[in-house]
A and B are shown apart, each in its own frame.
Chain A
């Protein structure tokens, strides 16, 4: 709809001027003809095509519209001949479009390469280029720019634009009083240098980057990307050049000697949604992730809708399906899974300590190294001590730390038969009966544990120790003999969630041997070990995807479970709630007692015996150096575990082959393709064919798109809409830039400045164009309703985050703290449960309620309601286009949400009507405004005087303490006025 309004506007404005292909004709051909006569080869009905000059030749007689078949067909009254065809449901072209086609052909039918593919050239212009171009255009229309807006309005506008927060009254005063020539520029510099600037810029980038705290599909499990978010804030704070900003996010990991920060930056490409839904075909989703990265990159840097070419050649732009998969190939080499972990970050990921954390980790490492040295140092003394201890006839000892169950199997346990065991008696299992050991050892998937036993198997299959329902696929864990081999099974859902490893070698039948299974709680097969007689076995990994909590109410069973029964004898069953060490594993099968080993000559002791003796000695004598070492290890481990991770990009060794996927389907590979860029774009050159090469190509100063697309997005931030309104689409279906020369000038200057973002913003906000009054005259409204030609300043509602942050700021509640984990401010209770069950949203308290909105926890499937209500992008996919609606739900939100009621109460403490007005709007109220507010205030006041209990209640919203020394009725009445001021159109508008 809006596009049409603009078209009319442009058409009216240019009716008499020369018709130009790119501006006037290509959009018609693209919209009306390309679907069947365009770049998509599969859908081209005939050889005739209008996306390239040669293909259109048969239909056009340059200079003579009347003789051109194109013209004859579009004006034909014969429905079977007319184009676009009636049988496909198309109407006749509007007269205006037909007229433009006629003029263009009559004027010689000149073709142009699509405008956005021609690199912008740097041009010298006098003064501020923004004003130069905008004013030239206005002059052509015979219009004048609007006068500069009031200074108070200007400083509020500038502060909101550059920092996302309004100026304080003191800042306003300082500016109003500053009569120096560069007073305004000083403010610009001050605001650009503020840490708030970085947060403001980061917020927009989070939307572009679809940043969130959850995965987004189905159960919407958590992830933790805040270290990436803080990297973005830091990058803006340092004014990182945009080319650098690009390279680090797309390929920081591939830079030579990549720093931690550069690796963190690549989290950009991992911010996409992922799924942990059971039953999915992982490859289908892995392909989805790769495609998403390609599409996002194309949207953000190229302003091109590559996604269209995923299933077929693009219908409007010269991007073939093959081109899509060539771009796809750049992102296809990540060692990643389609089905991800539901309770945290998924590989590839890295530890991402802050500087402070790194420092602390270094200290802990140093302490650990010291403790290790100390440990080494005391060895000779310890050896002496041990000999002394051995001579003192030590008592028997066994491994008891973390032991939760020990079944000696010595007593009778009818109906099982007691037989001679390895240590005392054992129980014999007959392949049918079992021993129930009660409700113990309910280990979960993140609990380390160890299971040991002596076994004398008479058959190759059987259960040794299990805790699950009595069939093999059941949920739980078990240690089995399967086909003669020892197998450890941990299962959530047998078909797709679990962990199964078995020994390569079989156990020995009809002989006693000790078996031990160890799992360290890290979810992976690499964290398991199986020992036979103390010797670690080579493992075969049967299944390795344990990612979900376990649960069952079954008892622990010995010799049975999982649908299997043990045949043979079992003795000395032990379970530990920790992973035993290899030394312990070695010592465990040693049956000789500690006193017995101690009495042996050291050289006659086996390694295992020596290990047992040593373990016994160390535990009993508890040397200080060992204690220190263990504590240092634990402290380091604990702290290391607490360091946040971030998902990053990584290249797999070798190159994963990429195929064109027919119809975009993951299971329909076609032709094999290599990484590359579409032919219609600049050549890729001699760059490495990986993400780094791609990032370098994107930021080549000669690239026609990157700079244009980027400056256009910043323009949108300041003016509410881009110079190309379709900020996501600079292709054929995108909008012709309403001020092409200006866009090109900005882009060229941006590149020439070294991609200096602050510099770009400064250029724009210093312009007279930016500083104009945003008053709308009836004439302007009629002639340029959307303010595309900028004969007035921009006036539009603040983005969602700024609406909230401003309220916190003017209330004096805002807690300014940069970075850190996301926080959970107020949210109506139950929102999470009603959609997804579970324990729901755990609202934060204290500072967490008052941080800037970019730190608000973002659950994708149930996004923060007040953000969504005010049109914040939902972070499902990359969003570059600003959308603004105006709805009753916004009114309800702003009037009744506890966050704003509390802010009103707090604002009311800061002054009377006039002061509150000034704090929010940066200007004095007019007499009429003051009177209206006063009148409302008096009405509220008399109500609260008459109903003091109501005043108390109205002042009770929110957690921040209330100043009880104030008269409640007066405070409540002022709070109501404060709310009213916060709800003014002007308050939530950048004017």
Chain B
């Protein structure tokens, strides 16, 4: 059943002042529109796919090539490098902080000559399409505050997440799916740092802006399926009666919330078909699965989620965020890191390629990265073939693609220990400001008044990194 606002008004306006209703049109319906005045200027990107690598992938093994470290392996980290910076209490009292170089080889790739590790062959192949920021830095040294900071611009929970800000500011492009969708995949070991619903929460924004988690077990959206023994035909009959009764109530009571309720039940019904259609991969050609890799047929894998991300993007979802867990290599890095890379390299690179082939890369911003980097010194026991790295907020690498970014660029530089940023630092607030910019949003103007204050994603900071924009 087609149900539009006009349809709704034509049927319910009897007995109510049209003007009154129009001025007070149910907020949930108008929410799809976002704020007036947004975007502030012509956007380059219409949507974002953020591939969050939770735990903190090591920049030194993947992108931030530091050949000199090979000579200094095992030597104590010079205090001149650390400059008294705080360490986590996991290594602060460690008696020795020996330097450890990457065990994995690097090569330059593409016309841009970007350095990419042997662990990421697929990513290496698309290096010319990527924008590497090697000078990203944050302020938190532990997972919870650091992930929260990336997600909300504040270390302590309570602020809206990026996706919630976008849903609030820009509204939705589709009425059949939520405008902010989250998908999670564990590392193959099933472990990793925990995640929290609040990471895609709406903070003090109304809860309808929060991310909807698409799940790999059970219903993709909570409570989506009709109960066993209650088929769609019954549901239609049910909803028709429900609408009739609610409409009678609306006529009797005139409360606009009832009109919203009617519309939301219809949207729920639409989701009952649009979500299964989304997750039904039977019409994808075999090439798709070749592209994304064999895991792409397995729900719950990063690869499957990447494929779904493309399908969500095609269907107008504004902000799609994937979380892949288990990058927290305090120890056993040589064993653990290659596994994570294997799980994510092909699908992430293929997603970029796939979007490009479909002509969607230009208006889709893709991001890949974790919540912080890792230390150049070894945490725990350094042996011939084993080492670990602690959390490192001072620098880490992220790559971006599409959506108004300048491809084939490596921006920012770290010292020869990949410890401190030596040129073009990009703070997390700057990253946020830049993301919003690609979406046509002036980050200083997307605000929400709460507890008397006008809050924004970038707090009172952030500057757009113009140099990486296309």
Interface of A toward B, CB cutoff 8 Å: 3, 30, 89, 216-220, 273, 275, 277-282, 288, 305, 307-308, 315-317, 339, 471, 473-474, 493, 495-496, 667, 726, 728-729, 731-734, 774-779, 781-782, 785, 795-797, 828-831, 834-837, 860-863, 865, 868-869, 871, 874, 876-877, 883, 885-893, 895-898, 901, 926, 928-929, 932-933, 935-936, 939-940, 943, 950-957, 972, 976, 979-980, 983-986, 989, 991
Contact A829 B218 (CB under 8 A): yes
Measured CB to CB, the nearest residue on chain B to A780 is B254
User: Which residues of A are found within 8 Å of B81, using beta-carbon distances?
Assistant: none
| Contacts known (A496-B90, A885-B28); A956 close to B452, Cβ less than 8 A | no
| Contacts known (A279-B390, A495-B91, A897-B223); A888 close to B267, Cβ less than 8 A | yes
| Contacts known (A495-B92, A778-B20); A837 close to B241, Cβ less than 8 A | no
Contact B144 A932 (CB under 8 A): no
**The residue from A279, A728, A876, A979 contacting B451, defined by CB atoms under 8 A apart:** A728
Contact B207 A976 (CB under 8 A): no
User: Which residues of B are found within 8 Å of A953, using beta-carbon distances?
Assistant: 228-229
Measured CB to CB, the nearest residue on chain B to A885 is B208
- A selection of 24 A-B contacts at a CB cut-off of 8 Å is A473-B380, A496-B89, A729-B452, A775-B252, A776-B256, A781-B20, A781-B21, A795-B253, A828-B219, A830-B218, A835-B196, A863-B197, A876-B158, A886-B208, A888-B267, A892-B223, A892-B272, A896-B223, A896-B226, A926-B248, A928-B248, A951-B229, A980-B242, A991-B253
Interface hits, B212-240 → A, CB 8 Å: 212, 215-219, 221-231, 233-235, 237-238, 240
**The residue from B19, B94, B184 contacting A495, defined by CB atoms under 8 A apart:** B94
Does B445 reach chain A (CB closer than 8 Å)? yes
Does B288 reach chain A (CB closer than 8 Å)? no
In the complex, A893→B224 CA distance in Å? 8
0/1 interface trace, chain B 256-272, chain A, CB 8 Å (1 if under): 11101110110110011
Does B201 reach chain A (CB closer than 8 Å)? yes
Measured CB to CB, the nearest residue on chain A to B210 is A868
Measured CB to CB, the nearest residue on chain A to B233 is A943
User: Which residues of A are found within 8 Å of B207, using beta-carbon distances?
Assistant: 868, 871, 883, 885, 887
**The residue from B252, B257, B380 contacting A796, defined by CB atoms under 8 A apart:** B257
Does B191 reach chain A (CB closer than 8 Å)? yes
What 7 A-B pairs have minimum CB-CB distances, sorted nearest first? A733-B452, A954-B229, A953-B229, A279-B88, A836-B194, A861-B196, A891-B268
Does B105 reach chain A (CB closer than 8 Å)? no
**The residue from B224, B230, B442 contacting A892, defined by CB atoms under 8 A apart:** B224
CB distance from B253 to the nearest CB of A (A): 5
Measured CB to CB, the nearest residue on chain B to A216 is B157
Contact B253 A954 (CB under 8 A): no
CB distance from A787 to the nearest CB of B (A): 10
User: Which residues of A are found within 8 Å of B444, using beta-carbon distances?
Assistant: 89
In the complex, A862→B237 CA distance in Å? 34
User: Which residues of B are found within 8 Å of A728, using beta-carbon distances?
Assistant: 451
Contact A886 B191 (CB under 8 A): no
| Contacts known (A278-B90, A936-B237); A886 close to B254, Cβ less than 8 A | no
Measured CB to CB, the nearest residue on chain A to B449 is A3
User: Which residues of B are found within 8 Å of A863, using beta-carbon distances?
Assistant: 197
User: Which residues of B are found within 8 Å of A835, using beta-carbon distances?
Assistant: 184, 194-197
CB distance from B76 to the nearest CB of A (A): 17
User: Which residues of B are found within 8 Å of A726, using beta-carbon distances?
Assistant: 451-452
User: Which residues of A are found within 8 Å of B192, using beta-carbon distances?
Assistant: 837
Contact B86 A281 (CB under 8 A): yes
Does B290 reach chain A (CB closer than 8 Å)? no
Does B370 reach chain A (CB closer than 8 Å)? no
Contact A932 B90 (CB under 8 A): no
**The residue from B143, B186, B206, B226 contacting A277, defined by CB atoms under 8 A apart:** B143
Contact A886 B230 (CB under 8 A): no
Measured CB to CB, the nearest residue on chain B to A901 is B227
CB distance from B329 to the nearest CB of A (A): 14
Does B141 reach chain A (CB closer than 8 Å)? yes
User: Which residues of A are found within 8 Å of B19, using beta-carbon distances?
Assistant: 782
Contact A275 B144 (CB under 8 A): yes
In the complex, A89→B456 CA distance in Å? 14
Contact B253 A774 (CB under 8 A): yes
CB distance from A480 to the nearest CB of B (A): 16
**The residue from B24, B217, B453 contacting A733, defined by CB atoms under 8 A apart:** B453
Given contacts A936-B238, A957-B227, 9 further A-B contacts (CB under 8 A): A89-B445, A216-B157, A275-B144, A495-B93, A834-B184, A834-B300, A954-B227, A979-B238, A983-B265
Does B279 reach chain A (CB closer than 8 Å)? no
**The residue from A217, A862, A932 contacting B197, defined by CB atoms under 8 A apart:** A862
Contact A279 B221 (CB under 8 A): no
Measured CB to CB, the nearest residue on chain B to A729 is B452
User: Which residues of B are found within 8 Å of A986, using beta-carbon distances?
Assistant: 249
**The residue from A316, A876, A892, A991 contacting B198, defined by CB atoms under 8 A apart:** A876
Contact A830 B241 (CB under 8 A): no
Contact A956 B195 (CB under 8 A): no
Contact A886 B452 (CB under 8 A): no
Contact A972 B451 (CB under 8 A): no
User: Which residues of B are found within 8 Å of A943, using beta-carbon distances?
Assistant: 231, 233-234
**The residue from A885, A950, A989 contacting B229, defined by CB atoms under 8 A apart:** A950
User: Which residues of B are found within 8 Å of A877, using beta-carbon distances?
Assistant: 157-158
User: Which residues of B are found within 8 Å of A936, using beta-carbon distances?
Assistant: 237-238, 240-241
Interface hits, B170-203 → A, CB 8 Å: 184, 186, 190-198, 201
User: Which residues of A are found within 8 Å of B221, using beta-carbon distances?
Assistant: 889, 892
Contact A889 B212 (CB under 8 A): yes
Does B406 reach chain A (CB closer than 8 Å)? no
In the complex, A724→B219 CA distance in Å? 41
Measured CB to CB, the nearest residue on chain B to A872 is B207
User: Which residues of B are found within 8 Å of A308, using beta-carbon distances?
Assistant: 451-453
Contact A495 B90 (CB under 8 A): yes
Measured CB to CB, the nearest residue on chain A to B88 is A279
Contact A829 B248 (CB under 8 A): no
Contact B227 A279 (CB under 8 A): no
User: Which residues of B are found within 8 Å of A273, using beta-carbon distances?
Assistant: 157
Contact A493 B90 (CB under 8 A): yes
In the complex, A885→B261 CA distance in Å? 10
CB distance from B25 to the nearest CB of A (A): 11
Greatest chain A CB density within 10 A among B24, B229, B250 is at B229
Does B12 reach chain A (CB closer than 8 Å)? no
**The residue from A731, A778, A874, A932 contacting B241, defined by CB atoms under 8 A apart:** A932
Does B359 reach chain A (CB closer than 8 Å)? no
Does B125 reach chain A (CB closer than 8 Å)? no
Greatest chain A CB density within 10 A among B244, B250, B442 is at B244
User: Which residues of A are found within 8 Å of B244, using beta-carbon distances?
Assistant: 932
| Contacts known (A277-B143, A835-B195); A980 close to B264, Cβ less than 8 A | no
Measured CB to CB, the nearest residue on chain A to B448 is A1
In the complex, A985→B206 CA distance in Å? 20
Contact B158 A888 (CB under 8 A): no
Does B335 reach chain A (CB closer than 8 Å)? no
Does B80 reach chain A (CB closer than 8 Å)? no
In the complex, A869→B208 CA distance in Å? 9
Contact A895 B452 (CB under 8 A): no
User: Which residues of B are found within 8 Å of A734, using beta-carbon distances?
Assistant: 452
In the complex, A5→B347 CA distance in Å? 48
In the complex, A282→B144 CA distance in Å? 14
User: Which residues of A are found within 8 Å of B380, using beta-carbon distances?
Assistant: 473
0/1 interface trace, chain B 31-51, chain A, CB 8 Å (1 if under): 000000000000000000000
User: Which residues of B are found within 8 Å of A776, using beta-carbon distances?
Assistant: 253-256
CB distance from A709 to the nearest CB of B (A): 14
Does B245 reach chain A (CB closer than 8 Å)? yes
CB distance from A351 to the nearest CB of B (A): 30
Does B15 reach chain A (CB closer than 8 Å)? yes
Measured CB to CB, the nearest residue on chain A to B19 is A782
Does B16 reach chain A (CB closer than 8 Å)? yes
